[in-house]
Amino acid sequence: MRVREEGTLPPSTKQTTPTQASTMKELKDTFWKAADKLRGSMDASQYKDVVLGLVFLKYLSDAFHERRGQIRAELEADGHDPDTIEELVNDQHEYRAKGVFWVPEDSRWEYLVRYAKGRPADHAGLGQADIGELVDDAMEHIMGSNPSLKGTLPTIFNQPSVDQRRLGQLVDLFNSTRFRGDGARKARDVLGEVYEYFLGKFAAAEGKRGGEFYTPPGVVRVLVEVLEPYKGRVYDPACGSGGMFVQAEKFLERHGANPQDIHVYGQELNERTWRMAKMNLAVHGLTGNLGSKWEDTFVRDIHPDTKMDYVMANPPFNIKDWARSTDDARWKYGVPPANNANYAWIQHILSKLAPGGSAGVVMANGSMSTNSGGEGDIRAQIIEADLVSCMVALPTQLFRSTGIPVCVWFFAKDKGARAGEVLFIDARNMPGVMVDRAERALTDEEIAKVADIYHAWLGTPSATEKDLTYEDTLGFCRTATLAEIKDSGYALTPGRYVGAADVEDDGEPLNDKIARLTKELYEAFDESNRLEAAVREQLGSIDV
């Protein structure tokens, strides 16, 4: 495939000016309806790769043109002559210096729109090509021009399973909306939100498998808001599509801090998910070290000599088939059982913490009290090492992909005045909001409540700024000493420590209440018997 040289785009090709959807919801709906045109001819995972790849390509092109316009406007304002302007608007450094990827001419969106129905052979020597071949070429050329994207972008658009007619329609439909800034809102912010929306939609569509690459944003925010990663090295050993890093960036922006103050490290086993994470980081302007390829964390730690200031992880629960080695140096507190990797993840994360480092890890609830396979002994050793700072039990239905109740373990290498103590928070009764019948989402207020309690308990600078003070709350939060936890068999279930909340007295004497409820129950039995008899009578009157 020949690449058309810069500046040789056919004269009839021009940059279109798509209409902007008026709201973010309309923007998301426009893209999702467009993407849905490809459904049916391919499996869900390939469909996801095709659509997210196109969204990313559209963003790269729009961000490129936005930066190109800025450069031109700045040069014209400075009085440069047209020849100098044309030279400088093609200077790749002017783009990369602002975090914008260089997009070769044949990779720009207007070129793909021009040939959305396929490219005929032309007098310049370019052969006939389907739109899928052109998109694959565009991906290859972009990776060749931007080393940080090497091996990241999908080149699957020219496969037999991809309907070329529908792909062309999708390119046309994506052209109806542009990712461009409006002053306060950058093109990258818009694309980032759309990209995350798509990740959530695909995770919901793929059911249980969707949980392999997607952690609900509300759950991630619990970790981020509690840990407050303002600066330093942030690590996720099972990073999925990179949601932990994205929420860390958003945390910094909400607090007026510089996202460049964090350095992202991650690792991911699944090739497709690793590619999604690389694109997700690029979308959000984060420079992350996810390794040169996908890799199993238990087989080879790709960041062996790097200690982390913050670890945030939602590793896969209860893995029964994992790469276990009994002499691994990471098993400082005991060798994890062969049929469950939960305590392997926990010990790997603890092994990565720098002095003063902290971590938040989402785990299945069973991890808090299990004694099988030596896990109870491992948990006891970790508790006695005074590494557990807080345990949070979360409400049900936060994960569409699993019905398993979950909790969050928080670890700290230095608990300061709270040494020898653990904070327990039982948030199981937080109602959240039901996204639909299958999924609950925590509200901003609920997330802030958990974070504020932890900060007040630990005495962080943010607690001082907000003038927060900690006190135990019956049924919700309580401080326990290591001695108390030992007396409870080293179980870390918050409900065991926080007690039951007081129930408001309704004024009805207990004996009277029992008598009333018993009478109502017997009346319900009688009504049930009456209805059963009526149904039997009706059935008996039917001629067979």
**185-190 contacts: CB < 8 A, separation 24 or more?**
187/59, 187/62, 187/63, 187/66, 188/59, 188/63, 188/283, 188/284, 188/285, 190/24, 190/27
Q: Which residues, listed in sequence order, are joined to residue 407 by a DSSP beta bridge?
A: 363, 393
What is the percent of the chain where pLDDT is above 70? 87
Question: Within this chain, do residues 260 and 166 fall inside the same structural domain, yes or no?
Answer: no
Q: Is residue 395 part of a domain?
A: yes
421 and 326 part of one domain: yes
Kindly state whether residues 483 and 337 are assigned to the same domain. Answer: yes
How far is Cα 502 from Cα 331, in angstroms, rounded to an integer? 42
Count up the domains in the chain and report the number: 2
**328 and 256 in one domain?**
yes
Looking at the structure, tell me whether residues 144 and 293 fall in a common domain.
no
Is position 226 within any domain? yes
Residue, of 186 and 434, whose pLDDT is higher = 434
| Cβ–Cβ < 8 Å for 391, 409 | yes
Nearest to 60 by CA among 93, 99, 87: 99
Same domain, 218 and 104: no
Domain assignment of residue 192, yes or no: no
Instruction: Specify the CATH number for the domain of residue 72.
Output: 1.20.1260.30
Which pTM was predicted?
A: 0.80
Tokens 């490129």 locate to: 64
Say if residue 2's pLDDT is above 50: no
pLDDT of residue 206: 66
Looking at the structure, tell me whether residues 372 and 469 fall in a common domain.
yes
pLDDT tens-digit readout, 267-308: 999 888 898 888 888 877 788 899 989 999 999 999 999 999
Q: Which of 60-74, 194-208, 375-389 has the highest mean pLDDT?
A: 375-389
Tell whether 505 is covered by a domain. no
Q: Is 79 among the domain residues?
A: yes
Residues 447 and 453: their CA atoms lie apart, in Å, by 10
**156 and 288 together in one domain:** no
Domain contains 471:
yes
Full residue range of the structural domain in which residue 60 is found: 24-185
Does residue 470 surpass a pLDDT of 80? Answer: yes
179-226 confidence digits (pLDDT tens):
555 543 465 667 677 777 877 777 777 655 555 557 888 999 999 999
* Res 505: pLDDT: 58
Tell me the mean pLDDT in the region 373-393: 98
167 and 217 together in one domain? no
Q: Are 443 and 306 contained in the same domain?
A: yes
Looking at the fold, whether 135 and 171 belong to one and the same domain comes out as yes
pLDDT in tens, 321-352: 999 999 999 999 999 999 999 999 999 999 99
* pLDDT tens digit sequence for 397-431: 888 767 778 999 999 999 999 999 999 999 999 99
Any idea what the CATH number is for the domain that residue 316 is in?
3.40.50.150
In a domain, 281, yes or no: yes
pLDDT tens-digit series, residues 488-522: 999 999 999 998 765 555 667 777 778 888 888 88
Mean per-residue pLDDT of the chain: 86
Residue 177 has a pLDDT of 63
Q: Are 442 and 345 members of one domain? A: yes
392 Cβ neighbours under 8 A, 6+ residues apart? 222, 407, 408, 410, 425, 427, 450, 494
Domain presence at residue 537:
no
Q: Is the pLDDT of residue 169 over 50?
A: yes
What is the three-class DSSP state of 260?
Answer: helix
**Do 337 and 370 meet the contact criterion of CB atoms below 8 Å apart?**
no
